[in-house]
Amino acid sequence: MLILDVVSLMLFLLSILLPGYGCRAADIPEDTTSEFSVRLYHRLQAAGGQDNIVFSPLSVAVALGMVELGARGASLEEIRQAVGFSHLLPGVEFSLLQNLTTALTEDDAHYMIRFANSLYLQEGVTFNPEFLHLMRKYFQADVETVNFSESSAVAEQINHWVENHTERKIRSLLSAEDFSSITRLTLVNAVYFRGSWKNQFRPENTRTFSFSKDDGSEVQTLMMYQQGDFYYGEFSDGSQEAGGVYQVLEMPYEGEDMSMMIVLPRQEVPLASLEPIIKAPLLEEWANNVKRQKVEVYLPRFKVEQKIDLKNTLQDLGIKNIFTNEADLSAMTDGKDLYIGKAVQKAYLEVTEEGAEGAVGSGMIALTRTLVLYPQVMADHPFFFIIRNRRTGSILFMGRVMTPEVIEPNDLYFESI
Ligand SMILES: *[C@@H]1O[C@H](CO)[C@@H](O)[C@H](O)[C@H]1NC(C)=O
Ligand SMILES: *[C@@H]1O[C@H](CO)[C@@H](O)[C@H](O)[C@H]1NC(C)=O
Ligand SMILES: *[C@@H]1O[C@H](CO)[C@@H](O)[C@H](O)[C@H]1NC(C)=O
C-alpha cells in the first residue's frame, strides 16, 4: 500500500484590537463552509473534555481541496458533500478556495496572513502533470521531491519549512516515524496570521485576576482591560433562567476586514451548555445583529495550541473513502492503492494586548459592577471564539478557551508585579 500524508499545519500568532466596517462587495466570494466548520468544532468538543480548542476551518478546507484535485469518484464526492461544495458546479470550489485565500491575503498593510502550501513527492514516482499544474494554479503549492526512505532527513526538511513559515512558532511537527519507504506524498499546509487590534489594550491596564474554570476551580490569569467602541449584542439560548442571555462581542483587527468574535455565557452557566446551540446560521445571526457601541471589555491573555488528528475527525464527518484502500486518487498518479495515511493539523494562537512584552500594572482590577455605564463583557470564565473575515465570512480560526494563560504564584512575572 502506498501512503499519502496530509499535514495541515497552521499557526497563528496574533496581537490584538477595534470598530467601523465595510460592507461585502458584490464581487467578493462568500464562504460556503461554515456548516462544515461548526461540525468540525462539535467533533473536537465531543473529544475534548475540558481542554482548550483551536483549529483553522479554512485551512482544513484548503488541505481537502488539494486532495480533491487528485481524487475521483466516491473519494471526490465525499469531500464535496462534507465540506459544503455539492451545490457548486464541479471544480468551481477550487476557484472559490483560491479567491477566499486571496481575499484574506490582500490587505498586507494591516495584518499578515500567509498560506503556505507544499507538496512533497517520492522521488521516482510519476505524478500526473495536470495535477501538479492545478496544484500550482489554485494553491500556489511548492512541489519538492524527497526520498521518504530517508525518513529523518525528510522530517527535518519539512519541519524546517514549517518553522520558516510560522515565524518559528511551530517546531518539530513531524518526526522520522511519520514516514517510511511506503510513503508517497505529503501535503503540508501552514497558515500564519498576525494582526493587531484596531483598538489596542494598554498593557498598564492588565492585572492579575481570577478565572473560574467550568470544573469549579480558579486560576490566576492576566486580564486585559479597555473601554471602547466594539460590536456587541445579547442573545438568548432559549433557556428560562434569566432569559438565557449570553453575550457576543466582535473586536476588529486593524484594517477591519478581520475580527475576533467572543461568545460568553453568563458566569454561572458552563460553556458546555451553550456549545450545542452553535450552528452555522447562528454565526450569521451574531454577525448581522451585533451593534456598534461602547463596551467595557475584560479579556484574559491567552495562548492556545492544538495538534489535531484530522483523519479520525474527518472520518466522523463522512470523509472516509480517502483513508481506506478503496480510495480513488487516480487524478494524482496512475499508481494504484494510493490512500491517505496521515492527516494532522496544528494550530497556535496567541492573544495579547498587542506586542506581548509590555509592562504589567500592579494590583487587582477594581470592579465597579454597581456603576456600570456600558455593557460589560467580563471573560473571567470559559468562552467560545471565532476569527473571521468579515467580507467573505471565511473562518480562519475557531475554538474555545477553557483555561487562559495561567500565572503561578512563583512565576517571575507574578513576582515582578
Ligand atoms: C474567482 O475570481 C475570479 C476572478 O475575479 C472570477 O472570475 C471567478 O468567478 C471567481 N470564482 C468564484 C468561485 O467565485
Ligand atoms: C531512497 O533511499 C533508499 C535508502 O537510502 C535507497 O535505497 C533508494 O535507492 C533511494 N531511492 C531513490 C529513488 O533515490
Ligand atoms: C524561508 O522563507 C523565506 C521567505 O518566506 C524564503 O525566502 C526562504 O528561502 C525560506 N528558507 C527556507 C530554508 O525554506
Indicate which CATH number applies to the domain containing 173: 3.30.497.10
- 357 in a structural domain: no
Instruction: Examine the domain organization and report whether 234 and 312 are in the same domain.
Output: no
First to last CA, the chain: 59
Query: Which of 122, 126, 146, 147 most suits a substitution to test ligand 2, by most atoms within 8 Å of the C-beta?
Result: 147
Residue identifier of the C-alpha nearest atom 2 of ligand 1: 99
Ligand in nearest proximity to the CA of 116? 3
Instruction: Examine the domain organization and report whether 162 and 247 are in the same domain.
Output: no
Which cell is 158 given?
519539512
Instruction: Examine the domain organization and report whether 121 and 262 are in the same domain.
Output: no
288 C-alpha vs ligand 1 centroid, how far in Å?
25
- Alpha-carbon distance of 186 to 121, in angstroms, equals 7
Instruction: Examine the domain organization and report whether 133 and 22 are in the same domain.
Output: yes
Extract the runs of DSSP E, i.e. beta strands, from 237-290.
Answer: 245-252, 258-264
pLDDT for 358: 29
Instruction: Examine the domain organization and report whether 285 and 165 are in the same domain.
Output: no
Kindly give the pairing relationship between strand 218-236 and strand 245-252.
antiparallel
pLDDT for 26: 42
Q: Atom of ligand 2 at shortest distance to CA of 148?
A: 1
99 C-alpha vs ligand 1 centroid, how far in Å?
6
Q: Atom of ligand 3 at shortest distance to CA of 161?
A: 14
Which cell is 105 given?
491575503
27 C-alpha vs ligand 1 centroid, how far in Å?
8
- 355 in a structural domain: no
- 356 in a structural domain: no
Query: Which of 121, 149, 181, 182 most suits a substitution to test ligand 2, by most atoms within 8 Å of the C-beta?
Result: 149
Q: What is the pLDDT along the chain (417 residues), one digit of tens a residue?
A: 556 676 666 555 543 332 333 334 445 667 788 999 999 999 999 998 899 999 999 989 998 999 999 999 999 999 999 999 999 999 999 999 999 988 888 877 788 887 788 888 888 888 899 999 999 999 988 788 899 999 999 999 998 998 888 878 877 888 888 888 888 888 888 888 888 899 899 988 999 999 999 999 999 999 999 999 999 999 998 877 666 899 999 999 988 889 999 999 999 899 999 999 999 999 999 999 999 999 999 999 998 888 888 888 999 999 999 988 899 989 988 766 788 887 888 888 888 887 333 233 333 444 444 455 789 999 999 999 999 999 889 999 999 999 998 887 655 444 444
Q: Atom of ligand 2 at shortest distance to CA of 147?
A: 1
| Ligand 2 near 86 CB (within 6 A) | no
Instruction: Examine the domain organization and report whether 390 and 292 are in the same domain.
Output: yes
Instruction: Examine the domain organization and report whether 53 and 108 are in the same domain.
Output: yes
- Alpha-carbon distance of 344 to 220, in angstroms, equals 32
| Ligand 2 near 147 CB (within 6 A) | yes
- Alpha-carbon distance of 355 to 350, in angstroms, equals 10
| Ligand 1 near 100 CB (within 6 A) | no
| Ligand 2 near 157 CB (within 6 A) | no
- Alpha-carbon distance of 392 to 106, in angstroms, equals 13
| Ligand 2 near 149 CB (within 6 A) | yes
- 178 in a structural domain: yes
Instruction: Examine the domain organization and report whether 313 and 164 are in the same domain.
Output: yes
Beta bridge partners of 241: none
Residue with cell 471565532: 386
Instruction: Examine the domain organization and report whether 8 and 121 are in the same domain.
Output: yes
**Closest among 249, 391, 322 to 81, alpha carbons compared:** 322
Q: Atom of ligand 1 at shortest distance to CA of 29?
A: 14
Q: Atom of ligand 3 at shortest distance to CA of 164?
A: 1
158 C-alpha vs ligand 3 centroid, how far in Å?
12
Instruction: Examine the domain organization and report whether 146 and 282 are in the same domain.
Output: no
- Alpha-carbon distance of 42 to 47, in angstroms, equals 9
pLDDT for 372: 59
The CATH number given to whatever domain includes residue 261 is 2.30.39.10
Ligand in nearest proximity to the CA of 148? 2
Pocket residues: Cβ below 6 A from ligand 3: 160-161, 164
Q: Atom of ligand 1 at shortest distance to CA of 92?
A: 13
- 384 in a structural domain: yes
Instruction: Examine the domain organization and report whether 146 and 270 are in the same domain.
Output: no
Residue identifier of the C-alpha nearest atom 3 of ligand 2: 149
Crossing angle, helix 92-105 and helix 57-69, to 10 degrees?
A: 140
Which range of residues forms the domain containing residue 41? 2-196+303-350
Instruction: Examine the domain organization and report whether 245 and 343 are in the same domain.
Output: no
Residue identifier of the C-alpha nearest atom 5 of ligand 3: 165
135 C-alpha vs ligand 2 centroid, how far in Å?
26
- 268 in a structural domain: yes
- pTM for this predicted structure: 0.87
| Ligand 2 near 123 CB (within 6 A) | yes
- Alpha-carbon distance of 317 to 319, in angstroms, equals 6
150 C-alpha vs ligand 2 centroid, how far in Å?
7
Tally of domains in the chain = 2
CA distances from 210 to 333, 340, 416 (A): 56, 45, 18
Task: Classify the C-alpha dihedral 377-383-384-387 as positive or negative.
Answer: positive
